[in-house]
Structure 1
Amino acid sequence: MNGAGNDFILIDNRTRSILLSKEQVQRLCHRQRGIGADGLLLLETNLTGKADWSWKFYNSDGEMAEMCGNGARCFAAFIRKVIHCSSPTSIETLAGVIHASFDGDDVTIALTEPERLALHQQISLLASNLTYHFLNTGVPHTVVFVDDADQAMVHEIGRQIRNHDVFSPGGTNVDFVQILRPGLIRVRTYERGVEGETLACGTGVAAAAIVTALVQKVTPPISVQVQGGETLSVDFTQTDVASVHNVLLTGPATFVFTGEITI
């Protein structure tokens, strides 16, 4: 499946019989030696009673991750297809319980409450100092405003920030944000765990939209163009100058192909 170009392998593991090693996940996500994906998701029955379903989510490096916005939208659409149900559903992730609803091909995810907001911070890189903004929208994101997203040094600067001591030991995702007009931004993301740019990142889109609203004094919803070419929508409630709740991420979740593979 893909969500705005962010692509995933989804596996029905309601029997909980599938156990994947880090190396197996890496192989499955490898674009030359496997299926190829930014991440892999296992659908599992929920054993805690906190949600309708659970997932195991792995980045392409084989490490388990707390949350993924585009992955969650694909996961919800996968549930709808497997269970033959179009009702709202809930999913327990390592970041907490998220809720999903459907409107045609679009899926809306209610993200967990944002945490650790820090605006107008300074960081020292190899060639210069840089102003950044930080927000955890399920996973950590560092937001950097740029004049032209096409010219942003996503790999070079993204890698430096992702591995900077300021964000150790877990690191951070890095979002390069261009303001196109009030209420419309463009985002390119260097994604932790993929260790490179992805065509979209749902939690990054949310972080970028929230930071833009707070810094630029823009009223949500915010439309976000991603590198894959699609536009996602982020809506939320702002209760004061630095307090955000009820974050909703809306966009497409598309089935690409189904099949079997031997591992």
Structure 2
Amino acid sequence: MTETAYPSDTRQETAATAGGERKRGIDRVIILLEALLRHRAPMRVGEIARRIGAPRSTTYEIVNRLLEADMLETVGADGHVYFGRAMHLFGWAYSHHNAHYPRIVEALDRLAGDSGETAQLCGLRGNKYVVLDCRDSTGPFRISSQIGVEVPIPWTASGRLLLTHMSDEAVRAFVPAEDYRLPDGRLIPQEEFLADIALARRQGYSESAALADRFTWCLAAPIRDARGGVTLTLCFVLPVDTPEPRRIELLAMLRERAASLDLMGE
């Protein structure tokens, strides 16, 4: 049996093309799942194809494979699809494998129960802020947040803490210029935002009032990883007219609970 002779550059090009196709296929799966996560509701395959910019035939192929793997499931009789039971199992596996996570969830439950206020666990996804978990207030003025919705970092108290490991130059490169524009049209000056990060770094907590909306006051405290970096925060979201003595009391509680979750020294 003889081997077909290829010039070395042709073989490399063929391998690179095959690798590129595989990479694009994997990327499309990720983009498809991200599209469903952002939409937060079932979609038709045609709509998914438009959102991710992929051919309808390719999208159907990906969706059918994910349906077979129970990563997606059909919803209703009109062709909509959404996350399937396998996604629950992946989340369950993560929460049970990560020994630190149950401690954080327990602390979040206690924080909300002891305070009666809306308590959140927050972090970053790429260059956006997200609420990773939330316990709503039990009071008459109920503030809640959508878990997993990506929000510009400058709109949040937590965002200032989550960037405290960065230099000013790194922050300028990391945060898109359009993210300094608040929902009501106000513009946060970049230098003011950098000063807020420096203040959060010095004092070990962050506060913001009437940013993402004009009705809330946010308190955030860092959860430090084994290297001392801030990758997660605990937060209170309060009515903007919460009296100062109450805010001081809640901030002390928040900082104490967050510090108890630090991994430094473990």
TM-score exceeds 0.5: no
Structure 1 or 2, whichever has the larger Rg, is: 2
- Structure richer in helix, relative to its length: 2
TM-score by length of 1: 0.29
Of structures 1 and 2, the one scoring higher in RCO (CA 8 A, sep 6+) is 1
